[in-house]
Chain A
Amino acid sequence: MGDWAGYLVLILEGAWVTVRLTVMGCALALVVAFVAGLGRIAPWAPVRWLATAYIEFFRGTSIFVQLFWIYFVLPMTGVSLGAMEAGVLALGLNVGAYGAEVVRGAILAVPNDQREATVALNMTGWQRLRHVILPQALPLMLPTFGNNAIELLKATAVVSLISLADMTFQGQIVRSQTGNTIVPFLTILVLYFLMSLAIAGAIGWLERRVTRGLDGVR
């Protein structure tokens, strides 16, 4: 007993794993969300089908199952991933599927007037998207992206099921070693909450940045 400092280090090590999972998972989710979200509204039907299939599949099955497939089943096909990679991949693909719908919705929410102006100014499809549509869609996406990121943070705990020593996993270890439930679980509760506050703060800051000058537009 009394070695709480050592136990706290264990939990902080787990917290670091959770932070890395969250950051990398969000990065992957963001990329995937844009690729699949743009794919959903692409002018080519096969691309739309592919994007739709991905989104429906990953929203329609649980992240537990997805993680088990990536970590336990994928190696049977010769693709073997470490626990961290598998965790990031499962989180990114799962949350990316939700993000894709956000991207699509935000792009479609930009008034058609704007698209017509870009046609009248003879911009190409990519120029329209890059310079006119996306800059206006981004502020619409950010609040939901913030929620998605927090969902992803909360979902990181599933990786303890593949024995990755994230914060929840370490909390369990400390609990079983000390016999004390309240202290480790209260610690991780506070840490999770601080992390989600940090995410909300970062998104709020981003929102203020990207909406600068757009005030009073809608």
Chain B
Amino acid sequence: MDNPIIRIHDLKKSFGPLTVIDGLSFDVQRGEKLALIGPSGSGKTTILRMLMTLETISGGRIEVCGEPLYQMRRNGAEVPADEAHLHKMRRHIGMVFQHFNLFPHKSVLDNITLAPILTQGAKRAEAEKQARELLEMVGLADKAGSMPSQLSGGQKQRVAIARALALKPEIMLFDEVTSALDPELVEEVLEVMKRLADETDMTMLLVTHEMGFAREFADRVLFFDKGRICEQGTPEQIFTNPAQDRTRTFLRKIIAAGHRV
């Protein structure tokens, strides 16, 4: 139990004068499903982006699989990570974005096979076989030859999930993956994620405003406010019996905004 896959210690992030994350620490256990909730602007996206190395850190430390993400050892001393180190560390992590970020010039199948072929030296035939299995899993077996522009938002997001899974990361980050979808398309994406959560031992970090889903999905819920963890606990604790006023206020607002809890 005491060998967390992610260890965040005293993490800081500022954009110019604006401090967004201020001394954040938490661990994530291997296989844990974590939901990050909180008001808009509380830094949830920034945390995922720092884990994915899309954003630099301003201070503190992130360890992934026992190794520091932004530092490396050289001649016995710890120095800032170079691109080669980041490249090595990124193998552990995959990310699904709010706006899918599919490659518009590549077919669904090529979107999924591109990275395994380029970054893991997979043979095209085996990469395609795996891609078709993943498409089957997300319910899009018939869309392999389609272009992203021919898909609905929900289908695009399921392809994006399959694309991230193709690299077999141990950790998957999901940043509001249903927020850009029409309401009637949300369910099909959540279903895929629920199945992933139930059937794999992947570590999953999910930023969401879908409180009903967070409750079903998560082993643990972190409520963020102003770049700090305001409260954390099991979904049961957070959603039915929150200890903090701010958590209660947030949940009340979210229900008022029409989200299910």
Contact = CB atoms under 8 A, between A and B. Distances in A.
A215 B148 CA distance: 10
Nearest to B101: A117
Nearest to B92: A122
B74 interface: no
Given A122-B119, A123-B115, A117 B87 contact: no
Contacts, number: 68
Interface residues of B, number: 28
Interface stretch (A51-59, A87-95, A124-132, A191-199): A124-132
Given A113-B97, A131-B118, A217-B149, A122 B103 contact: no
A136 B104 contact: yes
B229 interface: no
A92 B178 CA distance: 50
B95 interface: yes
Interface in A131-146: 131-132, 135-136
B94 interface: yes
A206 interface: no
Contacts of A132: 103
Interface in B72-111: 83, 87, 90-91, 93-95, 97, 99, 101-105, 107
Contact of A121 (B53, B115, B147): B115
A189 B209 CA distance: 66
Contacts of B257: none
B200 to A, nearest CB: 18
Interface in B200-226: none
A120 interface: yes
Contacts of A213: 105, 107, 147, 149
A37 to B, nearest CB: 20
Give 7 closest A-B pairs by Cβ, nearest first.
A121-B115, A117-B101, A217-B104, A120-B95, A122-B90, A216-B149, A113-B101
Given A120-B54, A123-B119, 11 more contacts: A114-B101, A116-B54, A120-B95, A120-B97, A120-B101, A121-B163, A122-B87, A122-B90, A122-B119, A124-B87, A136-B105
